[in-house]
């Protein structure tokens, strides 16, 4: 369903709320855990984590301005000074994130692009995984969560040459940290989760 336009979702308003639009290398501390979620939607998942773990840094990336505004609302409402919001494309992530700074990267319910001719658009496609690989600290974790089985199985295949697979879960139980989409989809079928760690050569 197409997101309804939010009148307040202007660059000016969102900049005042702390949203970043122009690609620029972020100055991230080396002594804190850095979490990145690509495709944050309305931000329920990452906002809850940010609130519960104020000692960590969280980065939410979302390309749709209207949806990104909903993340910014949560940042302001809960005073989440440890939450950085990027309104940008995943393909530009290496222009924002310095090499070897990310501890955990979350891909929650990414578009599965089910048609074979569109698979290269997937956020777990090998070219994207290569891009993420450079952003991880040693031992960094990639966590992929989805309700689409084919996408889940394909993503495992994509990840295996690059990551050490540490979790393959076909029936992920509910947790305090779920996206709005996950809460809606749980009543219709299983949720799948895949985790892998990266080790630099």
Please write the tens of the pLDDT for every residue from 87-99: 999 999 999 999 9
84 and 167 in a single domain? The answer is no
Provide the total of helices (H) and of strands (E) in the chain, helices listed first: 7, 8
Using DSSP's 3-state secondary structure scheme, residue 58 falls into: strand
pLDDT value, residue 1? 43
61 and 39 in contact (C-beta within 8 Å)? yes
How many whole angstroms separate alpha carbon 113 and alpha carbon 119?
6
Same domain, 165 and 187: yes
Instruction: Determine the average pLDDT of the residues in 80-106.
Output: 97
Q: Does 121 share its domain with 194?
A: yes
Number of folded domains in the chain? 2
Classify residue 24: in a domain, yes or no: no
Residue 146 has a CB neighbour count (10 Å cut-off) of 24
Q: How many residues does the chain have?
A: 201
Which of 95, 110, 126 marks a domain boundary? 95
- 47 and 114 in a single domain? The answer is no
Q: Within this chain, do residues 35 and 78 fall inside the same structural domain, yes or no?
A: yes
- The token pair that represents 142 in the structure block: 């990639």
Report how far Cα 110 is from the mean position of its chain's Cα atoms.
9
Range of the domain at 153: 98-201
Among the options 52, 111, 130, 150, which is catalytic? 111
| pTM, to two decimals | 0.95
Looking up residue 160, the CATH number of its domain turns out to be 3.40.50.150
| Residue 21 resides in a domain | no
CA torsion 80-81-83-85 (nearest 10°) is 110
4-60 confidence digits (pLDDT tens): 788 889 999 999 999 999 999 999 998 999 999 999 999 999 999 999 999 999 999
Q: What are the backbone dihedrals phi and psi of residue 88, each rounded to the nearest 5 degrees, phi first?
A: -165, 180
**pLDDT(80) > 50:** yes
Query: Do 147 and 179 contact (CB within 8 A), yes or no?
Result: no
110 and 192 inside one domain:
yes
- Mean pLDDT calculated for residue range 70-75: 96
Q: Which of the listed residues 95, 120, 143 is the one where a domain comes to its end?
A: 95
Tell me the C-alpha distance between 110 and 137, whole Å.
23
Q: Which one of 95, 120, 142 terminates a domain? A: 95
Q: Report DSSP state, residue 2.
A: P
**111 a catalytic residue:** yes
79 and 150 share one domain: no
């Amino acid at each position: 369903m197409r997101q309804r336009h939010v009148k307040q979702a202007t660059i000016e308003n969102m900049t005042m709320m702390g949203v970043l639009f122009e690609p620029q290398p972020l100055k991230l501390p080396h002594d804190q855990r850095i979490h990145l979620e690509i495709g944050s939607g309305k931000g329920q998942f990452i906002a809850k984590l940010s609130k519960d773990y104020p000692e960590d840094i969280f980065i939410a990336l979302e390309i749709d301005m209207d949806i990104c505004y909903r993340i910014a609302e949560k940042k302001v409402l809960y005073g989440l000074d440890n939450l950085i919001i990027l309104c940008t494309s995943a393909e530009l992530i290496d222009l924002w994130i310095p090499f070897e700074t990310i501890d955990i990267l979350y891909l929650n319910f990414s578009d599965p692009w089910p048609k074979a001719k569109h698979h290269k658009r997937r956020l777990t496609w090998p070219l994207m995984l290569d891009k993420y690989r450079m952003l991880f600290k040693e031992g960094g974790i990639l966590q992929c969560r989805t309700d689409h089985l084919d996408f889940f199985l394909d993503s495992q295949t994509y990840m295996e040459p690059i990551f050490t697979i540490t979790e393959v879960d076909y029936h992920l139980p509910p947790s305090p940290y779920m996206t709005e989409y996950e809460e809606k989809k749980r009543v219709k079928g299983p949720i799948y989760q895949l985790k892998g760690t990266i080790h630099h050569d």
